[in-house]
Amino acid sequence: QQQVKQSPQSLIVQKGGIPIINCAYENTAFDYFPWYQQFPGKGPALLIAIRPDVSEKKEGRFTISFNKSAKQFSLHIMDSQPGDSATYFCAARGWSSGSRLTFGEGTQLTVNP
């Protein structure tokens, strides 16, 4: 009930490509879905977040698509750059989980020049 499943585990794209990272959840009480970007040796940084009352949110080159009925959400990175190479974590939070974030397993993205 508290799990968030993330895929793929790793992803390699060419510069300019559009990597897509998917997450699925089970707990329908989750009401906040953030994505974090983490570079090696650094803490995670919030990229973008969405609530279940909207189906899409865009901030710069990053877009979250949200499918409430399927309990899935995904991150799209438009015009990807080598500097986007990092590990990406999806997460979910709801009041039933004590307001704690439940993280996915992470996706290691490599954008080749």
Partner 1 sequence: GAVVSQHPSRVICKSGTSVKIECRSLDFQATTMFWYRQFPKQSLMLMATSNEGSKATYEQGVEKDKFLINHASLTLSTLTVTSAHPEDSSFYICSARDARGQTQYFGPGTRLLVL
Among 47, 73, 92, 104, binds partner 1 (CB under 8 A): 104
Please report, for residues 6, 16, 77, the alpha-carbon distance to residue 90 in angstroms, rounded to integers and kept in the order given.
7, 22, 14
Question: How many positions of this chain bind partner 1 (CB under 8 A)?
Answer: 19
Among positions 48, 52, 62, 105, the unique one binding partner 1 when judged by CB under 8 A: 105
5 is a site residue for partner 1 (CB under 8 A): no
Do the Cβ atoms of 82 and 112 come closer than 8 Å? Answer: yes
Smaller CB separation from partner 1, 16 or 95: 95
From the list 18-26, 55-63, 76-84, 93-101, the region that binds partner 1 by CB under 8 A is 93-101
Q: For the window 28-67, what string marks contact with partner 1 as x by the rule CB under 8 A?
A: ------x-x----xxxxxx--x------------------
